[in-house]
């Protein structure tokens, strides 16, 4: 209250921080970071008598930040069978009204990362990054993003991601070999084309025993190694080539 029996009074208002505006008969404070601010009234009358009063206002940020996850995130294993995802990879613009935010990531485990055996589901600790291995291949993994503002308020978002392997395995054929017309009938007395046509699997195994089979490597593991139809170019004299083809 301001009261002076003798003359009119005027007053001013100031604040120790932020922005103070006067609109339509009232004051508004804005641009206030969390903290304590002092509001001071200064009053004077026509006789130049002055007085002041003040009080403190404490601003608190109790509102959680906005957490936003990238719902288009894709994870593919690399050449060593490992993928690395950071919290920034998962973040899609998380923010807070009062300042910057920090982000952390965690993942759910449903298999032992060492031997791939099934385990009771559990979460990793919050960290800046998480790793995925061949044990996660073709599994849907739950990821969570933790967003923290400057006042310690937190919020989370989550999504499920399918772990993929888009790298093709590598197949190595056995070494080329040369067999003489005398040696070949001793190794196989029948017609090789008929043998492949009548029992492809058994003939392929026989050829593996005689000349070796294919090998394969992959960033995780080679599921199957199969022989494709060979290219057989042998004339009536028994001379020519057999080109075996394999796939991993």
* pTM score of the predicted model: 0.71
The helix, strand and coil proportions of the chain, stated in percent and rounded to the nearest 5, come to 10, 45, 40
Average pLDDT in the 183-205 region? 86
Q: Which residues contact 50 (CB under 8 A, 6 or more apart)?
A: 42, 43, 44
Q: Which residues pair with 231 in a beta bridge?
A: 243
Q: Which residues pair with 4 in a beta bridge?
A: none
Q: Which residues pair with 158 in a beta bridge?
A: 144
Q: Do 149 and 65 form a contact (C-beta atoms < 8 A)?
A: yes
Sequence-ordered alpha helix ranges (H) in the chain: 87-90, 183-187, 192-198, 200-211
Q: Taking the CB of residue 108, how many other CB atoms lie within 10 A of it? A: 15
Q: Which tokens belong to 28?
A: 């508004």
pLDDT band at 3 (very low <50, low <70, confident <90, very high): low
3-class DSSP assignment, residue 39 = strand
Lowest mean pLDDT among 116-130, 143-157, 204-218: 204-218
Q: What is the pLDDT of residues 30-89, one digit of tens each?
A: 888 888 998 888 888 888 888 899 889 888 889 999 999 999 999 999 988 999 999 999
């Amino acid at each position: 209250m301001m009261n002076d029996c003798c003359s009119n009074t005027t007053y001013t208002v100031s604040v120790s921080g932020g922005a103070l505006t006067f609109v339509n008969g009232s004051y508004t404070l804005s641009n206030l970071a969390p903290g304590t601010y002092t509001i001071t009234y200064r009053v004077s009358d026509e006789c130049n008598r002055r007085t002041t009063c003040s009080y403190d206002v404490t601003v608190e940020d109790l509102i959680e930040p906005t957490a936003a996850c990238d719902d288009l995130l894709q994870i593919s294993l690399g050449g060593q069978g490992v993928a690395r995802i950071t919290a920034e990879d998962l973040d899609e613009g998380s923010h807070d009204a009062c300042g910057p935010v920090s982000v952390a990531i965690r993942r759910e485990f449903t298999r032992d990362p060492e031997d791939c055996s099934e385990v009771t589901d559990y979460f990793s600790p919050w960290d800046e990054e998480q790793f995925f291995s061949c044990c996660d291949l073709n599994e849907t993994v739950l990821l969570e993003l933790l967003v923290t503002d400057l006042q310690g308020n937190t919020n989370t978002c989550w999504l499920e991601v399918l772990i993929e392997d888009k790298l093709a395995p590598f197949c190595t054929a056995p070494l080329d070999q040369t067999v003489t017309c005398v040696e070949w009938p001793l190794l196989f007395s029948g017609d090789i084309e008929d043998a492949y046509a009548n029992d492809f699997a058994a003939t392929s195994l026989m050829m593996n025993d005689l000349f070796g089979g294919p090998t394969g490597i992959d960033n995780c593991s080679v599921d199957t190694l199969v022989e494709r139809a060979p290219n057989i170019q042998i004339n009536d004299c028994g001379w020519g080539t057999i080109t075996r083809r394999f796939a991993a």
